[in-house]
Amino acid sequence: MEQSTTQRAMLRARNLFQQSGLSLQELGTRMGYPRSVARRAVWQFLNKTKDPRVRMLERFADAMGMTLADLILSDRAPQRFGPPDTAVDKDAFYAAVRALVIMPPETTTAIAKRRSKLTRPTQKPKGRKAR
């Protein structure tokens, strides 16, 4: 029986974690969990989660220094475990997310537009200085 995209992503996440040499505590901290729950949260994510949310996979990918698209689509391990330094092909990224959550294309496009508005650098208003 062929594995689903989420099953492959979780298997890959487990393998990447084992290869990384990180502890559960370190990975949990990188994923943004408070130290008090980091170890337990990551253990549950890696061992108990059968249908992960996209946000959890994003947090894991960021912590491992890769993109979500790389986590879902690629069979190769990242060269290093730090922040990514290359641009992401947005079309491939959103196609991967769509395949993962089986989202209609128009919904994914709306999310991409919202996300691009949020990630643009803010400009300081010209004129009077704030007091």
Instruction: Give pLDDT tens digits for 3-14.
Output: 777 888 888 899
Domains and CATH numbers, the chain: 5-119 (1.10.260.40)
What is the pTM (predicted TM-score) of this model? 0.56
For 49-98, the pLDDT digits (tens) are 888 888 999 999 999 998 888 888 765 545 455 555 555 666 777 777 76
State residue 9's pLDDT score. 85
For 35-52, the pLDDT digits (tens) are 999 999 999 999 998 888
* DSSP sequence for 82-125: S---S---HHHHHHHHHHHHT--HHHHHHHHHHHHHHHSPP-PP
In the numeric block, the tokens 């491992």 are attached to 64
